[in-house]
Amino acid sequence: MAVHGISRNDRSQFAAFRALADRLGVSLFVPRFDGERFPAYQRLAAKPEQVRADRALSMLLYRWQTLRRLPSLKAHMFGYSGGAQFAHRYALLYPDRVATLSVCSAGWYTLPQDDIRYPYGLKGWPQWLGSPDSEAFLKLPILGLVGEGDSQRDAALRKSEKLDRIQGKTRVDRARHWVDQINRRRSVLGISSHALLQVMPGLSHDFEASADSGLMLPLIEQFIQSNGR
């Protein structure tokens, strides 16, 4: 499952992941969350009256599972930028639907911490979104990726004094903080596995460049293979 960023470059994601999916012997899903129906898909939805991106994706998976008559179905979730925001929040709500979680270059994160207020943490998580299962989420195989040059505070990057203070000022800082906090929570809960972070040299904030670099896709493929297909 490859989820696009706010440029909604689903075709680029399909082209990038097609060969990888063939090698792994898995089906490839590349949903498109159009701006009219899913204006805030990165956060699943921003208001109760909005169409829920998470429910649309869950319905897609359910239909595929029913069509193929599968007893169960889990996705190797990947998201880039805004898609990375969607992917990790989807995994918080539906960890039972996720086999592995790989997120690349998210602008910011919802941390799996009950002492930080939503949307930066789980405190006060909106009831209309459902209940996140942070403990099950923390048991998932998790890979964080970011380009070492992804340090620009561009227009697409969410900025606030509170967010900068909690998570850092750049996508590199925020990726490091997210993985670090996941591993801190795992240690508290006695979970022996660790979330991984890969900082990719020579890359900035560009999906196509990351896919063509020979760095990002092999890391994701190795991660999936290491955690079962």
Phi, psi (deg, nearest 5) at residue 3? -115, 125
Q: What is the pLDDT of residues 46-57, one digit of tens each?
A: 999 999 999 999
- How many of the other CB atoms lie within 10 Å of CB of 174? 26
130-148 CB burial, b ≥16 within 10 A, e <16: eebbbeebbebbbbbbbbe
Q: What is the pLDDT of residues 74-124, one digit of tens each?
A: 999 999 999 999 999 999 999 999 999 999 999 999 999 999 999 999 999
**Residue 229: predicted pLDDT:** 63
Q: pLDDT band for position 228 (50/70/90)?
A: confident
**Residue 155: predicted pLDDT:** 87
Note whether 210 and 203 are within 8 A (CB). yes
CATH class of 2-226: alpha beta
What separation, in Å, do the N-terminal and C-terminal C-alpha atoms of the chain show?
13
**Residue 32: predicted pLDDT:** 97
Distance CA 40, CA 6 (A): 10
Domain boundaries, the chain: 2-226
Distance CA 185, CA 220 (A): 23
Q: What is the pLDDT of residues 150-183, one digit of tens each?
A: 999 988 899 999 999 999 999 999 999 999 999 9
Share of the chain above pLDDT 70, in %: 100
Mean pLDDT taken over the chain: 96
